[in-house]
Amino acid sequence: MHQPRIMQLYKTLESHFGFLDWWPGDSKAEIVVGAILTQSASWKNVEKAIANLKSKDMIDPKRIANADIKRLEQLVRPSGFYRQKARRLRGFMSYVVKRHGSLESMFSNDASPLRAELLSINGIGNETADSIALYAAEKPIFVIDAYTRRILGRVYGTKRYEKSECYDILQKEIEASIRKDVVLYKDFHAQFVELGKNCCRAKPLCGSCPLKRQCKYFKDLQQ
């Protein structure tokens, strides 16, 4: 993966969709809550759960850590898998409060140990840990999701990126190919999500895709 090529993808996407200013959230706590609730859920449903939590003034690590689990379940219910997510959310915030006192204190750690610590918390996998590290803690860690794997697999004509066990490999390749920049990493991931939602779906809509001239999958279709 060469720097000009991957950066060229970003430039094409950014000039098409514009700067996306993702991830939405009024606070670090809200971004963390969103990152946990969005596991296997559409963002629209996550927004409803966040609105419920906000209406009860619950976007707060200490309040979530001390919440009654049944009440928390009802508040996060729109995001699906609500029993599991309520426990995950409360478990995460309890860990933060007991171990660090606050998210800000936890996030003062360097990127690599912070990532390792996030991954050690129950229910936090690669994508959630990296979303929290990049968007809430503002560390230069590139987030890989299903859209990223699918788009790069098609653009570069390889199936290996689509395997979930290739998470670390793909992440290292991207991080080695572009400048270490939190703003760039945030927006690049957002561009992939936007492209995945609008064009590079399971059944791709290549005709309206800004990357079609750079994409091996599309070029192969033309032959």
Output the CA–CA distances (angstroms, integers) from residue 144 to 55, 86, 137, 180, in the order listed: 32, 24, 17, 15
169 Cα distance to chain centroid: 17
Looking at residues 127 to 186 of the shown chain, list those that interact with ligand SF4 (rule: CB under 6 A). 151, 154-155
Q: Based on CB atoms, which residue is closest to ligand SF4, 178 or 215?
A: 215
Question: Cα–Cα distance between 99 and 72 in angstroms, integer?
Answer: 22
- Other Cβ atoms closer than 10 A to 52: 17
Q: Based on CB atoms, which residue is closest to ligand SF4, 89 or 209?
A: 209
Binding mask 195-214 for ligand SF4 (x = CB under 6 A): ----xx---xxx--x-xx--
Confirm or reject binding of residue 28 to ligand SF4 (CB under 6 A). no
Comparing CA positions, the residue from 179, 161, 181 lying closest to residue 171 is 161
- State the minimum distance, in angstroms, from the CB of residue 146 to ligand SF4: 13
- Residues lying near ligand SF4 in the complex (CB under 6 A) are found at 151, 154-155, 199-200, 204-206, 209, 211-212, 215, 217-218
